[in-house]
Structure 1
Amino acid sequence: MANLTNSQPTQQEIQQLIGHLNNNQLAETERQAKNLISKHANVFILHHILSLALDGQQKFTESVISYKNALKLQPNTPDLLFNLGIALTHIQQLDEAIATYKKAIQLKPDFFEAYGNLGTVLQGQGQLNAAIESYQKGLKINPQDARGYFNLGTALRDNGALSDAVNSYKKAIELFPNYTDAHNNLGETLRDLGDMDAAVKSYQNALALNPQHPNANYNMAEFLYLAKKYDAAIPYFEASQLDDWQERKLYCLYKAEKFDAFKINRDALIQTSKHTSPFLATLSTHYSINFNEPDPYNFCKNGLDFVYRKSIPELVDTNLLQALLNDINNADIAERKQGRLTNGQQSAGNLFKRHEASFQTLASLIKKEFLAYQNHFSDADCELIQSFPDELEFTSSWYVKMQQGGHLSAHIHEIGWISGAVYLAMPSANGLEGAFEYGTHGDDYPIKQLENHAKFPVKQIIPNVGDIVLFPSSLFHRTIPFNSVDKRICIAFDLKPATQNSPNKKSKNSY
């Protein structure tokens, strides 16, 4: 009987297998490789070729097994470890992917691609400082890596280092002038810095390179509708097909007071989608009140009844409160320009992706309150609760510091599910000064007749230090101006269902 462990395939069989792989005949490559492995179990190249064929078919769970079988035969193969790290990332085994990339780097210290991919996984886990360090190490090895500068820019931006992110994106473009994603992301970061002229130029550069670029079209549309050029914005939203582009189109129609077109498009969208868009809920509720019609959208029809307030004991006169205030005042976090904010500052980046222990602790406390929120309203017959996500992610989190005369005009958080704020410092109360106000009207939405204004109810909460307020992201909300010399400091956030990147979602990194 033949010894399957030590027997070898013929050179012709191996060459035939390689030919199938090179010709992208992946299913046939997989079939023949498995057949040969059944006869020659310990031949490294067979496992390697099988791994590549499985990867090419996006059979990542199987390819992980195959790569590991190959590595049992040749454990110190950096390129194989690199490919294994990619496959592990695809199946969300991120801790193992990190360890695998680190082993590849240990074996091959100049492996700049492994540093880049390691940085991407670390960034996805919120380890921004470690991700930045990994990107920088890769770029030190290969300073001509445009993709490395792009990825570094995304991490710096997440970390609130906007000016450094701008420089990193510019370096990527210098190395690769046709880097469309870098032009677009540069525009987004310049927008965050408040330089809209330069931001628009970057979007235009991206669209000149690729007129169909989803993100650049979306960002151009967003600029145009903020400039109240609603008709001009719609074609860009339609070209983007990105995220909430249909709701944004409805917004443009409504703000342009094209009510008939709005209703036709709203009703069509409602019929073809689940009632899980807070933005569409805002628009549909406003239209229904405006025109005295029943609201057909059941995300959360009576949003004012779903506002939740509670004191977090861990924040009342505690070390955590002092640590949060200290990190807000002293951490190196850039400011983000916010046109709705008067006499105040808003942080850039995503606080809950930063490394400071205070922000990480607060994020954990807030997630517990989200579960309490869900339990509190568990009997509600609306998609806000019935489709409440099992896994949650902070799409954004930022601090807002206001001085005397500070206020924030009425707005919604279009990309949230549940929005909220935790209050760390409050000014001395004088009536409703400094209060949190919420309702169904804001953002200069058109009102059909002046007397209809009274139909849009509002309520107020005067928070105490340590309070958390949670509310459906579909509600308008604002801060009422205050005259006290005391500061008003809160950390605000949006939380929504966890999602994976897909072709119609904004992606962050290049691989």
Structure 2
Amino acid sequence: MTASLAAKLQQAMSFLRAGRAQEAESLCRQILMSHPRQPDALHMLAMKARGQNQFAEAEKYFRQSLESAPLQPAVLGNYANMLMGLGRLDEAISLYRKAVKVDSSFVNGWYNLSLALTAAGQGAEALTVARRLADLAPTMPVAWELLGTAERQAGSEAKAQDAYREGLRLDPKNARLWNAYGDLLRAAGEFEAAATAFEKARAAGMHVPGLYQNLGECYYEARALEKAQAVHEEAVTRFRYDPDTQYARAKFRWETGAEGDHLSAIRQAISEKPDDPNLWGAYVDLLGHQARFEEVLTELDKARGPCGPAPRLLLAEAVAHSALGHTDEATAGFETILKADAEGVQPRLMFAEHLIKSGAPERADALCAFAIERDPYDQRAWAFRGTAWQLMGDPRTDWLLDYERMVRPVEVLPPADYADAESFFARVKAELEMLHQMQAHPLDQTLRGGTQTNGFLFRLKNPILRALKVQIGEAIERVLDDFPDDSDHPFWGRRTDGFSFKGAWSVRLASQGFHTNHFHPEGWFSSALYVALPAEVQAGKGTEGHIQFGAPPVEMGLDLPPQRIVRPEVGKLALFPSYMWHGTIPFMSDEHRITVAFDFVPS
């Protein structure tokens, strides 16, 4: 390369880095007139086009540069970066691999290769690459952050902690590392340590909504409710127009019974930014969870002018009309939404629910079939389809909903070091009572007249709860061992050699408390394990406090009675399909009814 050419290339690069894209392009084209396949000039043209989102043009120049000089790690890496951003992961991975093969010390190549492999679901190889990067660049905190994340995704919690700690040793004020470390500790149930890590991330300058939500949760779990509330209040000050932050603050204030209007902050934000459909959407969702549907319609009238026909708000309006029995208005609203969204599954299932309520189960069935074609295990679609079939008199109802065979009460045995189930579940009850801190039922759940624990119950480092998880697992295995062989069935056909918990929580019902009839959209099997029962429920002759199956929610207005009722007993675990309607019959007592519930899926 001549000195003159090198100088021109350096000048073009300076223009590009300074944001003077047109000058850089002009100089590169001059270079190509005298050096038609000059790879560096072609690379700079590719980078200029990429920076202006001219991706086809950029790809042309990347390829020309590599055709001229195939062994360019930087060009391979930048080309791969663009492809990864466009979602073309397989192509990006191939280019990253070529880049690190050309230059085994190419740190950015190894880093991005691990990220791409993770995004492509190739976790094992991503971990291998992350370890290679940490060996190659042991003084780079970002290498340890990447390794910690890869180890965590591989299920190696201890190794992930070691990686994050090494990164923080190198850079004690690294906000990203503190945040990642805090999230690991939070997931592991180490809430006080997690809160400390999140506070260090804040002190290092990280201010993002997710950090504040996680910090608030940690203070809540550490029984520091005032600190949790303060975090939520600071969050809505910093991120006043973030709908998730506003939703979390309103939900927290409702459930803790805080004084004042739990919706005041989101109303204020909307008054300042009335053209934001996401803020309006969060607001009307909160109203809807309290069944304040007349107010939903009133507020949506206000939103229509500044927001226009926003899909989310049109859907909320149709749902509100349906809840209020405005059949024609709701139907018209859903029809409009479906015309505008040819592939939307959730709007179709909401429409299916409305059609079932309004006496059109055949069309509801067709909408459910649409969803099931796209996801054969969509629990919402199967729940509504089962009800539609029942109303249609379709014989497939009994195939889908076999209440005698599918509802499986099973005893959870005490661990070997307990004399009996009574003493074990008394200990479980005492541990759970300490976790119920809220004063009201969750705003967006089916529980009424009680409280629910936060987060995944079995993440807690509590020996009693961990022992309970083991005993539950043994009970589940006894049920799965007795499964029929029916590969075409949406419930029986999902049986595999293992299972994993999808969620777990505890519910404490007070007198007149109950669960509205519902299903669980995320599970395969769902459950209710009875930990403590009022004397009136244990000794009563009626069905107060029992669990019932097969009756849709009262709000649907259907004359469909429960198909099976199961009497609760301490230590009894009721297992049933997640798509099966179930709910709790209210009871009267001065004592609490305490359960552990969870979903699990095939692994």
TM-score by structure 1 length? 0.68
* 2:88 corresponding residue in structure 1: 59
* 1:345 corresponding residue in structure 2: 451
What's the CA shift string for 1:212-265, capped at 9, x where partnerless?
6565333322333355442442537997745x984x655422332223334556
Question: Given the alignment of the two structures, is residue 103 of structure 1 paired with residue 144 of structure 2, yes or no?
Answer: yes
* 1:507 corresponding residue in structure 2: none
Match of 1:401 among 473, 498, 508: 508
Q: 1:293-304, aligned counterparts within 5 Å?
A: 296-298=363-365, 299-301=385-387, 302=390
Question: Given the alignment of the two structures, is residue 429 of structure 1 paired with residue 539 of structure 2, yes or no?
Answer: yes
Amino acid at match of 1:201: S
Report the CA distance between 1:359 and its aligned residue: 7.2
Report the CA distance between 1:490 and its aligned residue: 1.6
Match of 1:261 among 329, 336, 343: 329
SS at match of 2:407: strand
Matched residue count: 469
- When the two chains are superposed, the root-mean-square deviation of aligned CA atoms in Å is 5.2
Q: 1:498-509, aligned counterparts within 5 Å?
A: none
- Aligned-partner Cα distance in 2 for 1:176–1:103: 30
Change (3 A) 1:74 1:268: same
Amino acid at match of 1:463: P
Report the CA distance between 1:12 and its aligned residue: 3.5
More RCO (CA 8 Å, sep 6+): 1
* 1:201 corresponding residue in structure 2: 264
Change (3 A) 1:230 1:333: closer
Change (3 A) 1:327 1:229: closer
Change (3 A) 1:81 1:265: same
What's the CA shift string for 1:460-496, capped at 9, x where partnerless?
21133232232555635223315485x5322224579
Contact in 1 for aligned 2:501/2:598 (Cα 8 Å): yes
Match of 1:318 among 415, 430, 440: 415
Q: 1:95-494, aligned counterparts within 5 Å?
A: 100=130, 103-104=144-145, 109=171, 112=174, 114-115=176-177, 118=180, 129=190, 133=194, 136=197, 139-140=200-201, 143-147=204-208, 150-154=210-214, 157=217, 161=221, 163=225, 166-175=229-238, 179=242, 181-195=244-258, 198-208=261-271, 211=274, 213=276, 216-234=279-297, 235=300, 241=311, 246=315, 249-262=317-330, 283-288=354-359, 296-298=363-365, 299-301=385-387, 302=390, 305-307=401-403, 308-312=406-410, 315-318=412-415, 322=424, 325=428, 328-329=431-432, 334-335=437-438, 337-338=440-441, 344-351=450-457, 357=466, 361=470, 397-402=504-509, 405=511, 407-408=513-514, 410-413=516-519, 415=521, 420-427=526-533, 428-431=538-541, 432-440=543-551, 442-443=553-554, 455-458=559-562, 459-464=564-569, 465-471=571-577, 473=579, 475=581, 477-483=583-589, 488-493=593-598
Amino acid at match of 2:413: V
Contact in 1 for aligned 2:485/2:493 (Cα 8 Å): no
Amino acid at match of 1:466: K
Report the CA distance between 1:20 and its aligned residue: 3.1
Contact in 2 for aligned 1:116/1:134 (Cα 8 Å): no
Identical aligned pairs, as a percentage? 12
- Aligned-partner Cα distance in 1 for 2:578–2:485: 14
Contact in 2 for aligned 1:118/1:131 (Cα 8 Å): no
SS at match of 2:386: coil
Query: Which segment drifts farther, 91-100 or 265-274?
Result: 265-274
Q: 1:49-88, aligned counterparts within 5 Å?
A: 49-71=78-100, 73=103, 75=105, 77=107, 83-84=112-113, 86-88=115-117
Query: Which segment drifts farther, 368-377 or 200-209?
Result: 368-377
Change (3 A) 1:475 1:310: closer
Give the greater-gyration-radius structure (CA): 2
- Aligned-partner Cα distance in 1 for 2:486–2:259: 41
Amino acid at match of 2:144: K
- Aligned-partner Cα distance in 2 for 1:222–1:43: 53
Report the CA distance between 1:146 and its aligned residue: 1.0
SS at match of 2:507: strand
Amino acid at match of 2:57: E
SS at match of 2:516: strand
- Aligned-partner Cα distance in 1 for 2:273–2:500: 31
Amino acid at match of 1:186: R
Query: Which segment drifts farther, 429-438 or 470-479?
Result: 470-479
* 2:155 corresponding residue in structure 1: none
Report the CA distance between 1:36 and its aligned residue: 3.4
Change (3 A) 1:268 1:210: closer
Amino acid at match of 1:490: T
SS at match of 2:364: coil
Report the CA distance between 1:430 and its aligned residue: 1.4
Report the CA distance between 1:296 and its aligned residue: 4.2
Change (3 A) 1:20 1:218: closer
Contact in 1 for aligned 2:192/2:219 (Cα 8 Å): no
What's the CA shift string for 1:29-72, capped at 9, x where partnerless?
33433443455455332233223222332223333444455456
Change (3 A) 1:122 1:31: farther
Report the CA distance between 1:166 and its aligned residue: 4.5
Unpaired runs of at least 5, structure 1: 1-7, 448-454, 499-511
What's the CA shift string for 1:408-437, capped at 9, x where partnerless?
153425755667323132532312232113
- Aligned-partner Cα distance in 1 for 2:205–2:599: 37
Contact in 2 for aligned 1:350/1:397 (Cα 8 Å): yes
Change (3 A) 1:52 1:279: closer
- Aligned-partner Cα distance in 2 for 1:132–1:494: 28
Report the CA distance between 1:300 and its aligned residue: 0.8
SS at match of 1:329: helix
Contact in 1 for aligned 2:545/2:587 (Cα 8 Å): yes
- Aligned-partner Cα distance in 2 for 1:209–1:491: 43
- Aligned-partner Cα distance in 2 for 1:158–1:389: 36
Between structures 1 and 2, the one with greater helix share: 2
Change (3 A) 1:200 1:88: farther
